[in-house]
Structure 1
Amino acid sequence: MSPQRHDLLSFGEIFALPVSVDLRTAARAFGMCMGTAYRLIGLGTFPCRTVRVGHRHRVPTTELMRALGIEEVPVHAEDLAQGIALTLFD
């Protein structure tokens, strides 16, 4: 069973991810179902490194982004403007 198109993570959602994500989030980013994700982990062929934490798998966000072909985080004009405003008022 593959996820519906609306279940895929958008670029904005990917850039807002924390330092590591759960396996469900990583599977959504790759457009795969959880069954496929677990099968690939078992085969050692998941598209990026996973870290076992207890009974759960975590995926480092930097490695997820690299596996998705995202090497750089975009800078948005509003973020720059906010950063400049914070600097001016400090």
Structure 2
Amino acid sequence: MATQRARGMQPAEVLALPAAVDIVTAGRALSLGRTTAYDLARRGEFPVPLLRIGAQYRARRADLLAVLGIDTPTTAASTAA
């Protein structure tokens, strides 16, 4: 059985994510596989802070952007003030 390597996301894909994502999606953004992402979360070593909602983990898009060094684009509305 062949194993798949984690494929990271392009900056535009990360920017398009919702405000909070599941740990598998967060791991993919960081080029981590599912098993590695869960192992790091259980050890408290995931690269970004995780929110624990019941038995589920969630990561904030803002934290992913920060750790990946992706600047959020400014809009004309926010710079016009």
State the TM-score, normalizing by the size of structure 1.
Answer: 0.71
Letter in 2 for 1:34: R
The CA deviation at 1:63 is 0.7
State the TM-score, normalizing by the size of structure 2.
Answer: 0.78
Structure 2: stretches of 5+ with no match in the other structure: none
Number of equivalent positions: 74
The CA deviation at 1:8 is 2.2
**Does the residue aligned with 1:51 lie in a helix, a strand or coil?**
strand
Superposition pairs of residues 1-90 of structure 1, within 5 angstroms = 2-3=5-6, 7-70=7-70, 72-75=71-74
State the identity %: 34
Letter in 1 for 2:21: V
**C-alpha distance in 2 between matches for 1:17 and 1:37:** 18
**C-alpha distance in 2 between matches for 1:74 and 1:60:** 17
- Larger helix percent: 1
The CA deviation at 1:53 is 0.9
